[in-house]
Amino acid sequence: MLHSSSAGPCTIESVEGGFLRRPIRMASRRFDDAGMVTAETAVVLPVLVFILVAALAAVSVVTAQMRCTDAAREGARAAARGESDAAVGQIAASSAPAGSAVSVSRDGGTVTVEVSASVALFAGLGPSMRVSDAATAALEPGLDGAAAAQGGFGGLPSGSGPRGPP
């Protein structure tokens, strides 16, 4: 006589003279994960590329902003020494980003230099951002704003500049 009862992954069958244990053959529950890596990479890769491009665009904008700041400071220092507006514009433009605009304004004993530039976010494709900065400096003692704007050293004897005699 054959009686069977299930006890976990094995079947215990009673046979004449004792019990017989037989393993149960179960369908394979192991899933094949080989395709999951490809699917996950296909989803994540575009996101990583986007993050990389956005980070490079941010670095480009920050670099242009820092160059505008440096150019405005150099221009303000040159103007404070008594350089002409044209020379100040050339000095500031030499360290500013390509295609930047430089403006010089004088107000009594101070001079303000503003540098602004347009920065393409994606290497010439798509939108661009405008960055700018300004620096103000006091004119050196003995200089007046009108003479310094023309490149002269207002109020100083001929042949001597703000840095002293030649």
Between 54 and 147, the more confident residue is 54
Asked if the structure places residue 110 within a domain, the reply is: yes
The count of C-alpha atoms lying within 13 angstroms of the C-alpha of 52, restricted to the half-sphere facing its C-beta, is: 6
> Is 0.85 surpassed by the pTM of this model?
no
The mean per-residue pLDDT over the stretch 16-37 comes to: 64
Asked if the structure places residue 20 within a domain, the reply is: no
Asked if the structure places residue 4 within a domain, the reply is: no
pLDDT confidence bin for 120, thresholds 50/70/90: confident
- Give the pLDDT score at 108: 84
Q: How many domains does the chain have?
A: 1
pLDDT of residue 77 exceeding 60, the answer is yes
Asked if the structure places residue 12 within a domain, the reply is: no
The mean per-residue pLDDT over the stretch 58-62 comes to: 92
Asked if the structure places residue 26 within a domain, the reply is: no
Asked if the structure places residue 84 within a domain, the reply is: yes
Least confident range of 43-47, 119-123, 151-155: 151-155
Question: Cα–Cα distances in Å, from 165 out to 116, 132, 139, 156?
Answer: 36, 37, 18, 10
pLDDT of residue 63 exceeding 70, the answer is yes
Q: Rounded distance, CA 1 to CA 19, Å?
A: 12
Asked if the structure places residue 157 within a domain, the reply is: no
The listed range with the strongest mean pLDDT (9-23, 86-100, 110-124) is 86-100
Give the range of the structural domain holding residue 132, as residue numbers without chain letter: 36-149
- Give the pLDDT score at 46: 92
Q: Residue 165: which region, alpha, beta or left (left: phi > 0; alpha: psi -120 to 50)?
A: beta
- 126-143 per-position pLDDT tens digit: 788 999 999 999 998 876
Asked if the structure places residue 111 within a domain, the reply is: yes
